[in-house]
A and B are shown apart, each in its own frame.
Chain A
Amino acid sequence: LQFPSPPNYARDMLFFSFFKTLVGKEVVVELKNDLSICGTLHSVDQYLNMKLLDISVSDQERFPHMLSVKNCFIRGSVVRYVHLPAEHVDTQLLQDATRKEIAANKK
């Protein structure tokens, strides 16, 4: 597989880096079609696509096709929310990182 290499941005990586700190933690991803998926974050990429392991689905009756699925890849573009465990999020660190990123982008 040959992937083209993108230009060297320092920007737009903040949330990618943030999600990388959440790998291994349990999150709930709410999709734009109202499906909510709880699972362990296995991996994330620059588009904020995610792979979740050991998933459980909010409304099994409404989404019967998810019954046999244990792991899934979720396209970043269809995510509405990612519900985070508060104990694993350092909001102070996030604020500092945001200020740094904005400062870096201004240059």
Chain B
Amino acid sequence: MAVNLSDPYLPGAISLFEQLDKHLIVVLRDGRKLIGYLRSIDQFANLVLDEVVERTYIQKYYSEISHGILLIRGENVVLAGELDDTIETGQIKVSIDELHRIEQSMEHANNDAPGGSSSKNDLPLDEPY
């Protein structure tokens, strides 16, 4: 399929066109991170993702929930990043229960600290906007 890249009226998703069938991490406006293979796009950056896992991070630990095939409405998309699986991140995958436990132990550590919690120990939150 020939795509004329010099056409200024080519709709919004040209940058995404090159990412088809690639392994992407899509960050949503509510802070969620969805990882999957990009199967389809349109001019609104609506996406069809395949083999989707939703990943939650607490510092260097993460857990995943499977979602199968998802259609994501483009207005919710913040960014879509190409995942380089060769990069060693040092991040550790744990079960959902384990992540929950880690999260709670960090909250306790915060509350027990003298003088109250310092912002340095805060969980890296991805606030929705």
Q: Which residues of A contact B (CB under 8 A)?
A: 1, 3-6, 13, 16, 31-33, 37, 42-47, 49-51, 55, 59, 61-78
Within 62-118 of B, Cβ neighbours of A (below 8 Å) are at 62, 74-75, 77-85, 87, 89, 91
A61-B124, A65-B57, A75-B77 known; A49 vs B15 contact (CB < 8 Å): yes
The smallest beta-carbon distance between B128 and chain A, in angstroms, is 8
Question: Contact: B124 with A63, CB < 8 Å?
Answer: yes
Bound-state CA distance A59–B119 (Å) is 14
Q: Which residues of A contact B77 (CB under 8 A)?
A: 75, 78
Complex contact A49–B59 (CB within 8 A): no
Are B45 and A49 in contact (CB-based, < 8 A)? yes
Cβ contacts A to B, 15 pairs, < 8 Å: A5-B9, A33-B31, A33-B129, A44-B15, A45-B12, A46-B12, A64-B59, A67-B89, A67-B91, A68-B85, A72-B80, A72-B82, A73-B81, A74-B79, A78-B77
Residue of A nearest to B58 (CB): A64
| A68 pairs with B8, CB closer than 8 A | no
Q: Contact: B79 with A42, CB < 8 Å?
A: no
Cα distance A94–B91 when bound, in Å? 45
Of the residues B9, B80, B85, contact of A6 by C-beta under 8 Å: B9
Bound CA–CA A92/B9 (angstroms): 27
Contact of B33 among A5, A33, A59, A65 (CB under 8 A): A65
Number of interface residues of B (CB under 8 A): 46
Task: List the A residue with the shortest CB-CB distance to B7.
Answer: A5
Are B15 and A51 closer than 8 Å at their CB atoms?
A: yes
CB-CB under 8 A from A1, the residues of chain B are 1, 17
Task: A70 to B24: give the CA distance in the assembly, Å.
Answer: 11
From known contacts A43-B15, A49-B15, A64-B60, infer whether A32 and B82 are also in contact, taking CB-CB under 8 Å: no
B25 within 8 A of A: yes
Query: Are A3 and B55 within 8 A (Cβ)?
Result: no
Contact B1 A78 (CB under 8 A): no
How far is it, in angstroms, between the C-alpha of A67 and the C-alpha of B15 when the chains are bound?
Answer: 21
| Docked pose: A4 CA to B74 CA in angstroms | 17
Of B33, B45, B91, B124, which contacts A75 at CB under 8 A?
Answer: B45
